[in-house]
Amino acid sequence: MKTADNQTKRFYWLKLKDNFFDREEIQLIESLPNGKEYVLILLKFMMKAINSEGRLVVKDVIPYNPQMLATVTHSNVDTVRSAIDIFIKFGLMSTLDDGTLYMNEVQALLGSETEFAAKKREYRQNQKSNPQLPDKSKTKKDIVPDNVRQENRDKTLENKNIPYNPPSVDLSNNLGIADIWTNLIKSGGYSFSDTEINSIREFAIYKSRFDSVTEQQIKYTLDILSEHKKSYDICRMIKHSIASGYKAVMTPTKDFLINSTSANKPVVVSGRYLSTEYITPETREQKLELRNYLERCYMRELVDPRTGLALTSEQKALFKAHYDFAKSQHISITEYIYQNEVLTGSCLLDQPITGKNSPVIDSVA
């Protein structure tokens, strides 16, 4: 895709790994009714979000709704709605505070190149494919002896073996862009600590090396960080984003959660099982938190959610029976876990599948 960035045109693309379709979540999505169409819609969503830092928006302003997405992806609107629900449950998509849909993996997979660099690369390729005839007008002075040429080649190979050390940030030459971010923090009334501001300034300098941003984009990033700081260590998030080469601050994960109650979230203690994550939920938020934990244990880590120990062959067979039953009823495993374990308080590994009746729940497919 091609876009304009101030005076410089820039091309963007997604760098998908060759095992993309072998990923567990992609295979599980494909196994659902309309699964192959969902995966195609996922790729179309990711392409639509390339030029807007992962957000699904029109002209960087208007958020896409399901009807609009159905139109631009040439899909049925009900299929798009189901796809969005599934992508969110698998962690491939999320909803921002303003309701904008966000593709979680786009920033990590994004590649770009300026139009000038693209033309230069094409020129070099043409030079290689169409070598010029030797210039007969060269004199003896222009001819380099073979021993000198070999010596230069050896030096080049020697230099290639020297590990590359990235240049350190020279704050004296980059204070301009960092000050712009700092001034917007002050004028916007954001409540960042001095340590957080220093990390944000570091990110501003890092980002300015390969990209230029508008004031609106800076404010959007600050809004996101301001929201994340309530629950996550944004300083660590920023450092990890820079170290990983991301072009935007990464989407937070549980690894960056603040180990305190400063996020105004109630601390819930289970009391039933060894695992502290197997909570006794009281609120809707806690129920969803438990559902996500159970799904992670059963589907990804293959451990008993009560103890954290690896599932036995008998437990794997029992959960496989639950999974197949849910699939036969056109029910997502996420919703099945929610209805049959979270709401009942009974672990699926204690529930025999023989003679089980179909739960009266909505299908996500």
pLDDT tens for 11-55 read 667 788 888 888 888 999 988 888 899 999 999 998 888 888 788
- Find the range with the poorest average confidence among 198-207, 251-260, 320-329: 251-260
Question: pLDDT class for 272, splitting at 50, 70, 90?
Answer: low
The residue-averaged pLDDT of 61-76 equals 90
Question: What residue ranges do the domains of the chain occupy?
Answer: 2-109, 171-249, 266-365
pLDDT tens-digit map of 84-141: 999 998 888 888 877 889 888 887 776 654 455 555 556 666 766 665 555 555 555 5
The residue-averaged pLDDT of 237-252 equals 76
Q: What is the pLDDT of residue 155?
A: 52
**Structural contact between residues 237 and 31, judged by C-beta atoms closer than 8 angstroms:** no
**Structural contact between residues 316 and 302, judged by C-beta atoms closer than 8 angstroms:** yes
At residue 122, φ and ψ (nearest 5 deg) are -65, -40
Q: What is the pLDDT of residue 265?
A: 44
Angle between helices 35-48 and 24-31 (to 10 degrees): 130
Quick one: which of 10, 94, 107, 88 has its CA closest to 49?
107
User: How far, in Å, CA of 1 to CA of 188, rounded?
Assistant: 33
- Per-residue b/e over 183-206, b at no fewer than 16 CB within 10 Å? ebbeeeebebeeebbebbbbbbbb
pLDDT tens-digit map of 298-318: 998 899 998 888 999 999 999
Fold of 2-109: Arc Repressor Mutant, subunit A (1.10.10)
- Which H or E element spans position 143? none
pLDDT surpassing 50 at residue 161 = no
pLDDT surpassing 90 at residue 166 = no
The residue-averaged pLDDT of 319-329 equals 89
Q: What is the pLDDT of residue 354?
A: 66
- Per-residue b/e over 257-272, b at no fewer than 16 CB within 10 Å? eeeeeeeebeebeeee
User: How far, in Å, CA of 305 to CA of 23, rounded?
Assistant: 23
User: How far, in Å, CA of 197 to CA of 191, rounded?
Assistant: 10
pTM of the model: 0.34
Instruction: List Cα–Cα distances, 175 to 14, 80, 179, 204, in angstroms.
Output: 32, 45, 6, 10
Angle between helices 215-228 and 234-244 (to 10 degrees): 130
| Residue whose entry in the numeric block shows the structure tokens 């639509």 | 48
pLDDT tens-digit map of 352-364: 876 554 433 333 3
Q: What is the pLDDT of residue 15?
A: 80
Q: What is the pLDDT of residue 4?
A: 45
